[in-house]
Amino acid sequence: MTTYTPHVSTGSSYTSTAQGEGGSVSYAARGSYSAGGGVHAVYSIPAGVRSGAGNTTLPAAQSQSVLRQVNTARAGLTGVNKRPIPQGQVAAHPGGSLTVIAANGRKFDLRANGTLATISTPGASATFRGNGRLASVNTPSIHINRGPHGQRTIVTRRPDHSVLVTTGTRAGYLQRPVVVKGRSYVQRTYYSNGLRVSRLYSTYNYHGVVLDHYVPGFFYAPDFYGWAYYPWDTPAAYAWGWDGSPWFGYYSGYFSPWNAYQSGANWLADYYLGQTLFDGYLQQDPGEQAADDSAPQDDGSDAYAQADTPITPDIKQAIADEVRQQIAYENAASTQPDQAPTLTDLPQALTPNHIFVAAQPLNVITADAQSCALSAGNVLRLVSAPAEDSAEAGLTVVSSRRGDCPAGAQVTVSLQDLEEMQNYFRTQLDAGLQALRARQGQGGLPPAPYPAIAPPPRPSDEAPADNQNMQALLQAQQQQANQAEAGITQTAFASQQ
């Protein structure tokens, strides 16, 4: 069986962005670079160096001259952008960006304004946002993805072919292949704040990409799906009890629940969004939860929202419509278990205007080749179905928070990441249906018809027990990630002896 390693952005997209940032380039007097799009080069190429339309490799003396100019400009910056770039051979690119090849196999990609885009050292690479914050780290043993608000996803492929994933300071999961009743699955054992749950996923191939598809733990009676799908006779007022919760206050102004619900699908939409934002809150560093000051500097090197674009009632209704459609799929799958995967997997969702909600931080590239980041709770709309030979799709951001990809931006997202969004949506819909069934007739919700709740849920294949110490595994992985993050900058900026 092929097990799925969750997608983590590598430095390649950032390298290409660094080489083309700021738009067009013009050659001014004496060969100096002037980058368009509001990003201005902090250096000029000395006279006498021939420059053309492609990359220009500078001789030693001119390389030193350019680096002196760059490091002088960097002295006024902060964080990693303040550290001087070691001496080495400089190559200038048409977008105004630079590549510096230094001793001991170190490579630095710099934006035209002198900020660091990527570092490569023997066996490791890292990417950085325009404000100097780390975006990703990749080594042969560990992959780290950093979100714009301090979130960190860590992925480790282990010798026993299992995959360990940390999704926050207190959460993550262990993935491993299993066989249940003669059928092969991928099992994920999730851990969050002391609670653990195991889920099964089936594996399938789509557009040449191996994807893991969530398998519900049980199905409900058709009458229950119908009660959740169709409008209720009277709108139901419901109090969630979120007031006073730190996560709810953190997203104040970005998300607010409806006062009353026309249907179970609308109630489930708020349940789903509330859980997504709660999980997103836990993904962040505690310091970011207290004061969100993580928006990048406005240096033109990244695309980011300068203010929140809230989840409006119209957007929430579009999400409720997706919930309603998924309920119909789940109902069909419950009566046709042999066809369940084809009824509920990702291709069903890859229709124009389908709504996706990000469930974890992702580094992506916009249509105009800028880098930006998605966070849990960002809402996206699919532009069109991906081409048959494509492993990614274009989506438009319709709602996001300050520091994330701005609303209106068109971004490219891999099919693996879209599958993960869809899997998260389905697991939360599963949990929401459980909660709706348990709470029907309470707190203002209407009672469900007796045939809808009388039969107990019908279980599907059950995930086997996994008794590994998840807390210890995740803590050890976070320590390894800390070492990897510190180690690459230490190696890159070490003095040359």
Amino acid at position 380, single letter? L
Query: What CA–CA distance (Å, rounded) separates 281 from 277?
Result: 6
Counting DSSP H helices and E strands in the chain, the numbers are 11, 26
Query: What CA–CA distance (Å, rounded) separates 138 from 155?
Result: 10
Is residue 205 classed as helix, strand or coil in its secondary structure? strand
What's the pLDDT tens digit per position in 8-61? 333 333 232 333 323 222 222 222 233 334 457 899 988 766 655 678 899 999
Taking residues 401-421, report their average pLDDT.
Answer: 96
Which tokens sit at 420? 């993960």
The edge-to-edge listing of strands for the beta sheet with 362-366 is 355-357, 379-382, 392-399, 410-414, 362-366, 371-374
155 with 164: CB under 8 angstroms?
yes
Which tokens sit at 32? 């100096």
Q: Report the pLDDT value the prediction gives residue 87, as an integer from 0 to 100.
A: 95
CA nearest to 321, candidates 369, 350, 355:
355
Output the CA–CA distances (angstroms, integers) from residue 433 to 48, 189, 446, in the order listed. 71, 21, 14
What's the pLDDT tens digit per position in 258-295? 999 999 999 999 999 999 999 999 888 766 555 554 44
Q: Report the pLDDT value the prediction gives residue 289, as an integer from 0 to 100.
A: 53
**pLDDT over 50 (residue 161):** yes
Taking residues 283-308, report their average pLDDT.
Answer: 65
Cite the beta strand spans of 248-369 per DSSP E: 260-263, 355-357, 362-366
116 with 249: CB under 8 angstroms?
no
CB atoms within 10 A of CB 293: 10
Cite the beta strand spans of 87-170 per DSSP E: 88-92, 98-102, 106-110, 116-121, 124-128, 134-138, 143-146, 152-157, 163-168
Query: What CA–CA distance (Å, rounded) separates 489 from 480?
Result: 15
How much is the mean pLDDT over the chain? 86
What's the pLDDT tens digit per position in 189-243? 999 888 899 999 999 999 999 999 999 888 999 999 999 999 999 999 999 999 9
Q: Residues of the chain with pLDDT > 70: what percent?
A: 87
What's the pLDDT tens digit per position in 57-94? 999 999 999 999 999 999 999 999 999 999 999 999 98
Amino acid at position 363, single letter? N
Is residue 95 classed as helix, strand or coil in its secondary structure? coil
Q: Report the pLDDT value the prediction gives residue 301, as an integer from 0 to 100.
A: 57
Output the CA–CA distances (angstroms, integers) from residue 223 to 327, 412, 455, 459, in the order listed. 12, 39, 10, 17
The domain ranges of the chain are 12-146+483-492, 152-212+464-480, 214-459
What's the pLDDT tens digit per position in 124-158? 999 998 889 899 999 999 999 998 888 999 999 99
Q: Residues of the chain with pLDDT > 90: what percent?
A: 70
CB atoms within 10 A of CB 260: 14
Please list, residue by residue across 67-85, b when 16 or more beta carbons sit within 10 angstroms of its beta carbon and e when fewer do: bebbbebbeebeebbebeb
DSSP state string for 378-397: -EEEE-SPPPTT-SEEEEEE
Dihedral (C-alpha) 343, 346, 352, 355: value to the nearest 10 degrees? 100
pTM for this entry: 0.85
296 with 131: CB under 8 angstroms?
yes
